[in-house]
Structure 1
Amino acid sequence: MSEVLELNRERLRDFPLPYHPDDSDKEGRGRLLVVAGSRELAGAALLAGIGALRAGAGKLQIATAASIAVPLAIAVPEARVIGVEETEEGCLAADAVERMIGWCEGAQAILLGPGLQHGPPLDAMLDGLLAASLDRPLVLDAAVLGSLAPRAETLKAWKGGVALLPHSREMARLLDCEAEEVEADPLAAVRRAAGTFGAVAMVKGQYSHIVHPDGRAFRFEGGGVGLATSGSGDTLAGIVAGLCARGADPLTAVLWGIYLHGEAGRRVSARVGRIGFLARELLDEIPGLLPE
């Protein structure tokens, strides 16, 4: 079993991000499709989308519930916001799958999950996406994580690489175990998830653990208790997906995403306070944390 490496600025030198020269344009930094948000959780799509842009993604598309598409487009004028039909329960309708596959084919990376609602329509959407097995990174978070356990083998076949971003309760659902088991040995849980799903997996906490399917393992001392706040995970998902859109592989994107998210938490804590800051306050810190 491989040694667990500390994730810090020096370690990230082994995982350089794609370089974008001054004469490059937004097409060179990739297009990201974010499938996120619902009537009750519109903010999740907003935080994830802005997180991706702050991480340097060139173009942003957000597929979201039709009922929130217009206000979301006004809140994030930098994005193309696509309204998707909804069920009565507020889920994205399953019959939107074919349209979504077309949007995915035109993107360099895909983020699925923040602010979506559990239910059969989400399962159908996930099945349709996984069947396409596209050659681009797929970042999965929040509601969609609860649908992955019976789809492990299909997920392994995804050509572009997968990143899973659960907290301990979501990891427990992934592994069909109790959250206390994950919290007692988070590294063992992440190793199991990485092997089971063939994905770069992590679990968030005071110490975040990250494992690649090949066994490489990393640990990051978190950015402080203030990061345990509503919307924080959505910002992390957006940052990771934005880095993937720029051309980073899933492991590089997850390592940088966790580091940037944690360091942003430290900076905001020093300026605002140890707890009580908002997830949206993390976002403005990200560009300044990225190296030249």
Structure 2
Amino acid sequence: MTPRRVTDALLRRWPLPDPAAMEGKEERGRVLIIGGSTRIPGAAMLAAIAAMRAGAGKLQVATSASIAMTMAVALPEAKLSGLPKDAHGEIARLGLDVDTDVERADAVLVGPGMLETPATRRFATCVLQRAKAVVLDAGALPAATEGSYAICVMTPHFGEMAALLGIDASDVEADPLGIARGFATEHGVTIVLKSAETVIANPEGRAWRHARGCTGLGTSGSGDVLAGLICGLIAQGAAPDQAAVWGVALHGRAGERLERSIGTTGFLAREIAGQVPAIRDAIDRGS
């Protein structure tokens, strides 16, 4: 099955849920971001802002207790939960309140700014078992190999995909489409295999290629933004593969806009999500 090229025409034929038809923030969906650490505190915030820029209605963030208050001030739109941390500043476990938040959320993102640790894998697996829809990123990615789940999107780059499969990154680079399709169908997930040309594959074997964007998107925090966009779209009712395709497209086009206004490189990940609402509107209008 030949992968489809992601174009504006394809996106217009596959429209996202219309926010104008939703009565308020509850209908636009509740997002929960679980991530961040003492050493990488901003990743969860980048993802959280992106989820809101994608159009989600309500935002909750669970992060290391040592940075929760600072993030609450920087992110006044969110309900913040501080979680116990280990000696390295990583989230050690989820509390009872966050367990409840997982079940109530329309989409949960786990992993931005987190290292792969036994604790991360353990509670990411728990989230997969209890949440309606989950996006896995960074240190939480290995949890997808623990079993099959109805709704899950993963966002690995080539190195992370290679680590999951126990192969070399050059093997992934040689056949990203085959690798993505194989993993997606075996584990029942949607894969966003990130690179200059990103491959998206769903559990049924359908696949898409996205080649737009710019060099500047290869910057620290850019992947956190992408994961947040996808999570925000799922929360609004988009199907996992639709949210993945649209999220990659919005992310790439945001980079193109920043390239024109700032330069080929040098723009910041925190600037990407702010471009998204206008791009989404422009695609919908066909302009």
Aligned length: 282
Match of 1:121 among 119, 122, 127: 119
**Where does residue 49 of structure 2 map in the other structure?**
50
Write the distance in 2 (CA, Å) between the matches of 1:131 and 1:3: 33
- The superposition leaves residues 136-189 of structure 1 with CA deviations (integer Å, 9 ceiling, x where unpaired) of 22111111114444x1xx2x1x23x11111110011112221111111111111
Write the distance in 2 (CA, Å) between the matches of 1:166 and 1:117: 13
Write the distance in 2 (CA, Å) between the matches of 1:238 and 1:72: 16
**Where does residue 194 of structure 1 map in the other structure?**
184
Moved more, 249-258 or 100-109: 100-109
* Contact 1:4–1:218 under 8 Å retained in 2: yes
Write the distance in 2 (CA, Å) between the matches of 1:189 and 1:20: 35
**Where does residue 158 of structure 2 map in the other structure?**
168
Give the Å deviation of 1:22: 6.6
5 Å-filtered alignment, 1:247-286, equals 247-286=237-276
Residues 277 and 195 of structure 1, relative CA distance in 2, 3 Å threshold: same
- In structure 2, runs of 5+ residues without a counterpart are none
* Contact 1:202–1:208 under 8 Å retained in 2: yes
- The superposition leaves residues 18-38 of structure 1 with CA deviations (integer Å, 9 ceiling, x where unpaired) of 112277211110100110101
5 Å-filtered alignment, 1:100-249, equals 100-132=98-130, 134=131, 136-149=132-145, 151=146, 154=147, 156=148, 158-159=149-150, 161-249=151-239
Write the distance in 1 (CA, Å) between the matches of 2:9 and 2:115: 39
Write the distance in 1 (CA, Å) between the matches of 2:51 and 2:172: 29
Moved more, 47-56 or 16-25: 16-25
Query: Please, what TM-score do these two structures have when normalized by structure 2?
Result: 0.94
Code of the aligned partner of 1:103 = D
Give the Å deviation of 1:114: 0.2
- The superposition leaves residues 191-237 of structure 1 with CA deviations (integer Å, 9 ceiling, x where unpaired) of 12212221111211111111111111110113011111000000000
* Contact 1:4–1:216 under 8 Å retained in 2: yes
Write the distance in 2 (CA, Å) between the matches of 1:48 and 1:250: 17
Write the distance in 2 (CA, Å) between the matches of 1:10 and 1:47: 29
Query: Please, what TM-score do these two structures have when normalized by structure 1?
Result: 0.93
Give the Å deviation of 1:60: 0.4
* Contact 1:91–1:118 under 8 Å retained in 2: no
Write the distance in 1 (CA, Å) between the matches of 2:17 and 2:56: 11
**Where does residue 69 of structure 1 map in the other structure?**
68
Write the distance in 1 (CA, Å) between the matches of 2:91 and 2:22: 39
Write the distance in 2 (CA, Å) between the matches of 1:56 and 1:205: 25
Write the distance in 1 (CA, Å) between the matches of 2:20 and 2:202: 30
Task: Confirm or deny that 1:89 pairs with 2:85.
Answer: no
- In structure 1, runs of 5+ residues without a counterpart are none
Give the Å deviation of 1:123: 2.0
Moved more, 227-236 or 215-224: 215-224
Give the Å deviation of 1:14: 3.1
Residues 20 and 32 of structure 1, relative CA distance in 2, 3 Å threshold: same
Percent identity (aligned): 41
Give the aligned CA root-mean-square deviation in angstroms: 1.4
